[in-house]
Amino acid sequence: MSTAAVPNAAALKVPGFWRRALHHRSFVLGGTLTLLLLLAAAVSLVWTPWSPYEMDMANKLKPPTGAHWLGTDTYGRDVASLLLVGARASILVGVIAVGIGLVVGTALGLLAAAKRGWVEEAIMRLTDFSLAFPAILSAIMMTAVFGAGIVNAIIAIGIYNIPTFARITRASANAIWSREYVAAARACGKGGFAITMQHVLPNISAVLIVQITIRFAIAILAEAALSYLGLGTQPPQPSWGRMLSEAQTMMFQAPLLAVFPGMAIAFAVLGLNLRGDGLRDLLDPRLARAR
């Protein structure tokens, strides 16, 4: 029996998937952290302890107190509120950037696997070319040329996700095309598009899900990096990366200013990575053989 080790979404249909998922340490831990991230962003839409834009020079650079739970920054703004609202920027970037990569990249990958021949070659060489440029430098270059700002940051990161998704989709899709049930579909007279949508895409969904989680984490890091350099989210829009950048100058006076956004970034990325690891384990093909 030939089965390439493609994480199989059929595993989701195996009874007890959620039971096992809830026992898997990485998944649970990662899931909790990710949930906290989402919660933070959601809460910030309706309430923050203080307004993140309110400057209070009299109270600047204060350590954590009863009034300001995590202290204040150089302009007297409440750090806790900044973190909560900053979560929004991170998630926004993650969703849209990964979304761009997912939609365009997956489409290209599926096309390459279905058509093969010169179409596949062309698409793969294009991805090779794109991947040859270091990601962050490309993003910097793009924002430098087209202007800084969250929109351009998202586009830059998103464009970089395209070749990654294209390659992964193509590899997994190729494995599915060689399965007998695809041959059976061809023998029925089904065309490439129908086979891609009905057979290939559902069966590579597990791979894509795992990849989305991972790329989300990378997107958050990328946004933080760009904002740190002043190329991403612009003031007064709160951003974890920019908070780090501003904290850098105050390292000796208020070290905690760097710790909180740093920890926020670290936990968000850690949570997403752990969840990705957990998902990959849980969707392992050996589970698809349940009889």
Partner 1 sequence: MPLLEVKDLRIGLQTQRGPAEAVRGIGFTLERGETLGIVGESGCGKSITVMSLMGLLPSTAKVGGSIRFDGTELVGLPEKQMCQIRGNRIGMIFQEPMTALNPVHTIARQVGEPLRLHRGLSKADARKEVLALLERVGIPDAASRLDAYPHQFSGGQRQRIGIAMALACGPDLLIADEPTTALDVTIQKQILELIKSLVAERGMALILISHDLGVIAQTVSKMLVMYGGSVVESGPTEAVFARRAHPYTQGLFAARPAIGAPRGQRLATIRGSVPELVDLPKGCPFAGRCSYTVDACKTTPPPATMLPHDHAVRCIRLEEIAAQGAIAP
Partner 2 sequence: MSATTTNASPLLRVTNLVRHYALPREKLFGPPPTVKALNGVSFDVQAGKSVGIVGESGSGKSTIARLVMALDTPTSGTVSLEGRNLHALSKEELRVARRDFQMVFQDPYGSLDPRQTVARIVAEPLEALAATSRAEQRERASETLAAVGLRTTDLDKYPHEFSGGQRQRIAIARALITRPKLIVADEPVSALDVSVQAQVLNLMQDLQQQFGISYLLISHDLAVVNHLCDDVCVVWKGLIVEQGPPAELFHHAKHEYTRTLLDAVPRTPTGGTLLAA
- Residue 184 interacts with partner 2 (CB under 8 A)? yes
- Residue 4 interacts with partner 1 (CB under 8 A)? no
Partner from partner 2, partner 1, none contacting 8, C-beta within 5 to 8 A by type:
partner 2
- Angle in degrees, CA 115, 170, 219, rounded to 5: 135
Pick left, alpha or beta for residue 149 (phi over 0 → left; psi -120 to 50 → alpha; otherwise beta): left
Stretch binding partner 2 (CB under 8 A), from 158-166, 176-184, 214-222, 249-257: 176-184
Nearer to partner 2, 14 or 95 (CB): 14
Nearer to partner 1, 16 or 117 (CB): 16
Report residue 142 as tokens.
């793009």
Shortest distance in whole angstroms from residue 179 CB to partner 2:
6
Do 231 and 140 form a contact (C-beta atoms < 8 A)? yes
Enter the DSSP assignment of 251.
Answer: T
Q: How many Å apart are CA 95 and CA 256, to the nearest integer?
A: 29
Partner from partner 2, partner 1, none contacting 288, C-beta within 5 to 8 A by type:
partner 2
Stretch binding partner 2 (CB under 8 A), from 30-38, 89-97, 189-197, 254-262: 189-197
Shortest distance in whole angstroms from residue 285 CB to partner 1:
15
- Residue 16 interacts with partner 1 (CB under 8 A)? yes
Q: How many Å apart are CA 34 and CA 37, to the nearest integer?
A: 5
Nearer to partner 2, 19 or 291 (CB): 291
Report residue 234 as tokens.
């612009």
Do 256 and 99 form a contact (C-beta atoms < 8 A)? no
Length reported for the chain: 291
- Residue 19 interacts with partner 1 (CB under 8 A)? no
User: 72 pairs with which residues across the strands?
Assistant: 78
Which residues form the interface with partner 2 (CB under 8 A)?
1-3, 8-10, 13-14, 179-181, 183-190, 194, 198-199, 202-203, 288-291
